[in-house]
Structure 1
């Protein structure tokens, strides 16, 4: 019989209480669902087993990473159609993630639908997660050792892979776009924007926290004459950054260290840049992070904190870390609302002087990265693994839609340490707001 897709479509609609927004093709070749839409290809019934044993986003993600689910057609369109069923439903409780297939049981029609789904999936013992999933360790999620492991999982997957993904700039954060510009131009503009906000010039000391592959450090030293210390927990990033420093003849102005920000003791610095690093700090450690950076600045020194933000929850205790990202992308990463970030910086003693929202810019950046990945897919698979490439494709495409739909934001917060005479002076400046 070739009826898996119609059965699966009917069961899905019963369990979710909504019409299926995409077409389904099952492992037996059958299809069901609205024509003219992207096709969700269920290549193996093992995908259903994963969803039964881990209901929700993580089960779907495991099936995607394992290659048991795929999309034919526009991936962004498919994810946009599925967003209301996956990411924008009410958050699950802890109880919803325990008990395997029994966790889906409901009264009436849903109970019968689950029985039929179990029959269709033939759920033997739960399939093991794809190997790209982070290995969980005990202890404090943001101890120095566990932070090193989390950073290594994300960044130590090969510098060649990141070169393929990011392009020559090797900048792994939101770019700053002009209409019609290229990714390289937009990343150069972002680095320059940060340097101007920090008022860098010849001889000023800059600490670049989470320096990545050294792009910000190199730009600040080369274009502004700053003396830069870049720190990262990734040994692969440090090797690459040091090589770039040597190639550009900037070893007298740039030092790259493998070091935790909590262990930096050679302040004061004139300026600190933290670009896409604070997401790794964790809410329990954020006040410590803000106080440590405050202590490392001279009076009148500036901090540029460039950080992804989430929308605030009506009840903040309801916030849950995204399961897919926590398991496959950024272990132990947490997003804060913008207001929380500003409040913690102010509590540490900073005066917040400027906030610039770049949400639309990150959507464009992510789409550019996805395009690079898909254009060189076979090479990306060779450099990492099929599962790793699928992780990045799903993560970046879904994140792009998150920024476009306003579920995510990214902000540059400029904060200043007061001088002995009081508040630090910043020159007057205006922003241009074009007509829509």
Structure 2
């Protein structure tokens, strides 16, 4: 246990009450922990100061983004091993477990170890947060101004960077994976899976030539392009990202569809030219927030013609026994999706029904998102030097950690993703839906 690594391992195991499942390599080149396990690399003392001044997930996140800590070995394996030891002991942990940790921190030997950690950390100066952290936000939560700031933080980091991660499809939501008999390994490519997802949504919406489609949170224009090209609709796509809008408009012009597809920098609350025959909202509703969701559902209902369909594709979290204890993940809030919130799928369906919709189908595709995220991580790692050049080392590290951890969260059933198909059913009750479930052709 000689050296900083041994001392840190001892402190961690005293606090957690369990053996540390990963190795530690410290700045003094000392190592400790199980041989052959992934190694948590603590590059400098500043990492400890970040944890001392912001204990828990935010301190770890800042250390990761700044490059003060790293993982040597398989990142997925390291995160999987650490999940049950660190992150799942946080605010969502059962109260008895949290109480045990607090009792451990009160023991004299733990207090002594904490003093040793202070001595290891060096100067007691709080390091500044990495530049990639979202700055204090102006305006009330989920106001038009604040939502624009939050969207800009996440999406306005460079279209070229996203092209490296997402690939040619430029679709930033869960793909839909089908077996591919023609592929060498029997598995479809990411591009095929994203095309199949867009096609599935168009079929669920029952799109036909000449209809008018609204795509809420249109990203780089992939949905409206597919719907116009393959189904002959006229489409309006809205986004709050100037960079996305510029990119989408060029794609539409290059495809010769500028007379049928319009891209606007606009909030869903600002649309006044309804009604539409169909509305798609793909990976956007996570930004809406619990307090605003009823307004979101009511607005989309008002924008649909009677008989029109809504396809709401949204990430969901598992329900809690006490919903009031839900808190937003600090790493996600500061570095990925500022002000984003997840809700259980039951609440989402209920709020759509409260707005007047008839919910006709819910398809859970959780495993599909894990596959998608692993493809995005592979794209990022394969183009790492270019991704760093296009953004910053910290930004690339944010996306690598966020996507890898999210893949594991989907695989472990901590979060899911669902396509909810709802209809603004006319007073006559004729919803225009197929009699056979999941036959979206007629």
TM-score, structure 1 normalization? 0.95
Shift of 1:140: 1.1
Shift of 1:52: 1.1
* Residue 141 of structure 2: aligned partner: 141
CA positional deviation for 1:110? 2.2
RMSD across aligned positions (CA)? 1.7
Partner of 1:398: 405
Q: Match for residue 170 of structure 1?
A: 170
Instruction: Tell me how far apart the structure 2 counterparts of residues 35 and 10 of structure 1 sit (CA, whole Å).
Output: 16
Q: Does 1:56 align with 2:56?
A: yes
Q: Give the structure 2 partner of residue 336 of structure 1.
A: 343
Map 1:58-207 → 2, pairs under 5 A: 58-91=58-91, 106-179=106-179, 180-207=187-214
Measured after TM superposition, the shift of residue 109 of structure 1 is 2.6
Counterpart CA distance in 2 for 1:315 and 1:34 is 38
Shift of 1:85: 2.2
Answer yes or no: is 1:346 the counterpart of 2:359: no
CA distance in 2 between partners of 1:276 and 1:137 (Å): 22
Aligned length: 424
Cα distance, 1:139 vs structure 2 = 3.3
How much does 1:225 deviate? 0.3
TM-score by length of 2: 0.93
Q: Is the 8 A contact 1:2 1:28 kept in 2?
A: no
CA distance in 1 between counterparts of 2:117 and 2:249 reads 54
Which residue does the alignment assign to 1:36? 36
Runs of 4+ in 1 over 4 A off after TM superposition: none
Measure the CA separation in 1 of the matches of 2:139 and 2:108.
42
**Partner of residue 265, structure 1:** 272
Describe the superposition over 1:379-412 as per-residue Cα deviations: whole angstroms up to 9, x where unpaired: 0000000000000000000000000000010000
Deviation (angstroms), 1:418: 1.3
- Deviation of the 1:87 alpha carbon: 2.5
**Secondary structure in 2 aligned to 1:413?**
strand
Query: Which 10-residue stretch deviates more, 121-130 or 43-52?
Result: 121-130
| Partner SS state of residue 170, structure 1 | coil
| Most deviating of 78-87 and 401-410 | 78-87
Distance 1:296 1:204 in 2: 14
CA-CA distance at 1:423 after TM superposition: 4.9
Instruction: State whether residues 205 and 271 of structure 1, in contact with CA within 8 Å, keep that contact through their aligned partners in structure 2.
Output: yes
Flag the 1:25–1:184 CA change in 2: closer, same or farther, 3 A: same
Q: Distance in 1 between matches of 2:383 and 2:263?
A: 30
State the Cα distance separating 1:329 from its structure 2 match: 0.3
Contact 1:170 1:213 in 2 (8 A): yes
Once residues 218 and 138 of structure 2 are traced to their aligned partners in structure 1, the CA distance between those partners, rounded to angstroms, is 27
Residues 189, 92 of structure 1: CA spacing in aligned structure 2 closer, same or farther, 3 A cutoff?
closer
Given the alignment of the two structures, is residue 289 of structure 1 paired with residue 281 of structure 2, yes or no?
no
Question: Does the 8 Å contact 1:2/1:29 carry over to 2?
Answer: no
2:424 and 2:92 map into 1 onto residues whose CA distance is: 41
SS in 1 for 2:106: coil
User: Deviation digits for residues 294-330 of structure 1, max 9, x if unmatched?
Assistant: 0000000000000000001110011010000000000
For 2:155 and 2:170, locate their aligned partners in 1 and report how far apart those are by CA, in whole Å.
12
CA distance in 1: counterparts of 2:385 and 2:118, whole angstroms: 35
Q: Alpha-carbon deviations, 1:247-284, whole Å to 9, x = none?
A: 00001110000000000011110000000000000000
Q: What secondary structure does 2:314 align onto? A: strand
Cα distance in 2 for residues equivalent to 1:243 and 1:431: 35
Unaligned runs of at least 5 residues, structure 1? 94-101
Q: Of residues 344, 364, 386 in structure 1, which corresponds to 2:371? A: 364
Q: Where does residue 425 of structure 1 map in the other structure? A: 432
Distance 1:341 1:406 in 2: 18
Aligned counterparts of 1:193 and 1:51: Cα–Cα separation in 2:
45
- Counterpart-to-counterpart distance in 2, 1:34 and 1:295: 59
